[in-house]
Amino acid sequence: METRFIYDLMLNYFVSYDELRPVMRNVHNGENGYLYASDGHIMIRIKQEKCMKQYDAVHKYPNAEELIQKAINRKNNKEAVIKTNDLIRLLSEVAWRSIKNGDKCEECDGTGEIECERCGNKSECEECKGSGVVNVSNLEFTLLQCDDSSYCIKIGDCVYKADYLFIIASMAQMCQASEIQYLYELSYEAGIFRFDGVDIFLMPFLADKANAVMRLK
């Protein structure tokens, strides 16, 4: 089945629409066989041969290849496999389902943080490892609500904006990729999502406070 048009279609979801970032409003041909698109928070690298359209090099485009390779080659990267359907299942619950009181971590009351009685400083809850819900292992998914309209998903130790993960999951599904290879290191460094010759570089969301909404069972 011919699917090359899918890659051209999805590239439009990665470019920036910010008038203050004119360089990043177009797909960039790195002239190394790869295309790049980014809005400053998420970036995709894909081979030109996978796309139907031809793209030009963008003058003064950031060194996207260096950023992606540096992230992929980190010495302490952890590797995991994300089932595309699992991620889609969780994303389908955004804004429509609340976590039950019985699922909340009793130690932190679902906030994921513990306040020191002596100094008042907050730290990650050791009982739930900051997820706010009980029985969450290192690579289970937790849906977080950061404010009335912003949702994030915690994957392992890293938190990402749900709308960006929706783009990744949608592209993986349209490309018929049942699994996504996930590389991550620290909670404040970008994660790499890889499938079918596609590399997606996504910056984490550093929320001061995020309440657990639900966990994927």
Helix (H, G, I), strand (E, B) or coil at 30: coil
Query: Does residue 169 contact residue 161 with C-beta atoms inside 8 Å?
Result: no
Segment 123-146 shows an average pLDDT of: 61
Q: 187 and 136, same structural domain?
A: yes
The tokens for 148 are 């009335």
Query: Does residue 84 contact residue 51 with C-beta atoms inside 8 Å?
Result: no
- CATH (domain of 186): 3.10.150
Query: Does residue 35 contact residue 11 with C-beta atoms inside 8 Å?
Result: yes
Q: 93 and 22, same structural domain?
A: no
Q: 50 and 82, same structural domain?
A: no
Q: 173 and 118, same structural domain?
A: yes
Q: 103 and 13, same structural domain?
A: no
CA distance 8 to 35: 10
HEC-encoded secondary structure of 110-168? CCCEEECCCCCCEEECCCCCCCCECCCCCCCEEEEECCCCCEEEEECCEEEEHHHHHHH
Q: 204 and 176, same structural domain?
A: yes
Q: 86 and 101, same structural domain?
A: yes
CA distance 50 to 37: 14
pLDDT tens figures, 153-210: 888 778 888 889 989 999 999 889 999 999 999 888 999 999 988 999 999 887 555 5
Q: 85 and 46, same structural domain?
A: no
**How much is the pTM?**
0.73
Q: Which domain holds residue 37?
A: 1-73
pLDDT tens figures, 81-121: 999 998 888 787 665 445 555 567 778 877 778 888 788 88
Other beta carbons less than 10 A from residue 97's beta carbon:
11
Instruction: Please state the domain count of the chain.
Output: 2
Question: Letter for the amino acid at 83?
Answer: K
Residue 136's pLDDT is 42
Helix (H, G, I), strand (E, B) or coil at 123: strand
Q: Which of 22-36, 45-59, 83-97 has the lowest mean pLDDT?
A: 83-97
Q: 165 and 131, same structural domain?
A: yes
Residue 126's pLDDT is 74
Q: 83 and 69, same structural domain?
A: no
Q: 122 and 103, same structural domain?
A: yes
Residue 211's pLDDT is 54
Q: 59 and 84, same structural domain?
A: no
